[in-house]
Structure 1
Amino acid sequence: MQRSMQQSTQQLADDSARTLADRVFARLQDDIVRGVIAPGSKVSETDLAGRYGVSRGPLREAIRRLESRKLVEREVHVGTRVASLSFTDLIEIYYVREALEGQAARLAAERMGDQEVAGLYQLLAQHEQQQDLREDTAYFQREFDLDFHYRIIQGSHNQTLIRMLIGELYHLVRMYRYQFSTTANRPQKALHEHRRIVEAIESRDAEMAELLMRRHIGRARENIEQQAQQRNPQ
């Protein structure tokens, strides 16, 4: 009996610690994705423990989870840093996204069920309610089923495409997608482009769905190139 009570108490303690680590993980991931903690910056456990008001145990668990998502990385003799991509790597990834997500949109137009398509419209309706999007200052999409691009990729029902596009770089690319979406007037345009893609999918116009997705990602890439040029003029 006593042993059972001790086990129950330990389980409650473990659940509490896990819940706290979950909360810290969610906050830390959001801060990284939103650029509050910049790419390439050093991760200080002491600073973060003070910022989030937690002990190092839950914080370390959160950092380990972020490391598995490729959002932080450990370097010998350097420590832990927020992951970053070079400009060249990022642009190359966007060219690949343009081709592969265009194909995903084409397949989604052919294969998504009516309920899945209705879910895309519902998702965009949720996005429209975001204050930063309504103010046209940023377009923040949470991960997985709350992410428009994730839904389209899943809607392709092609497991190879899904593995390639929702693999180890998914979270890192999502971070750059958000941070470069804060360009003036870009968020509302991106939402409009999303809506047109869904309309093409609903119409079962596979060719148009692919074209619109490729244009959408191509414009996002051009936006990144323009911002990079403005930040580092020759």
Structure 2
Amino acid sequence: MLEIKKLSVSFAGRPVLQDLDLTVAAGKVHGIIGLNGAGKSTFFNVLSSVVKPENGEIIFNGKPLKYTDIAYLETTNFFYPNLTGREYLNIFPKTNKDFDLIAFEQILQLQLDLLIETYSTGMKKKLALLAMLQQNKPVFVLDEPFNGLDLESNRTLEMIVELLRQKGKTVLISAHILEPLLHTCNQIHLLQNGRFVQTFGEAEFPFIREKLFAQLNQDLQSQLKKAL
């Protein structure tokens, strides 16, 4: 079980996460949704020890969560110049004994001996994903992993997430587009103004869009009537 208790983060005096609480079951796929500015990336950065919270604690299976427990796929990844894809992967320890790089090179259509600077956005995303998958971590945090991927790669990623769940991994995943989360998640958690306000089980997924956009729809309708 992953427990987040009273987590608070501010930037330049502006609260981003406010006494945030969330409990999620281990070995499941959890979607994190919210409009821009809701605090999704900040929440992931705190989980991954990139950002230190002002208050609160994060407990995983009864112990404080450590950064070594997490494989983190950031929205935008940093790559050293003049490295090939294969050299980049060699930076990360291969602790997943089941990981088959040759198979993934074919599945994801990656040419690992080319320089990363020649890669497209989608290819870079796939490479960063491989660096995560070759590590045996209990928690996977994926921040906007579908960005920049084509339809085939999106489907491949959905299947990879399902396999991680079958292996008992805890996966937290965000997306700007709701549909991929509906296909991959066991639960989806709605983040608004720095707090989780609702958790949806699979039976409640059809009602997420209405809840997510309720206030936005009301505001936009009023503005558009005046503008058009």
TM value normalised by structure 2: 0.23
TM value normalised by structure 1: 0.23
- Over alpha carbons, which structure has the higher Rg? 1
**Structure showing the higher helix proportion among its residues:** 1
Q: Using CA pairs below 8 Å that are at least 6 residues apart, which structure has the higher relative contact order? A: 2
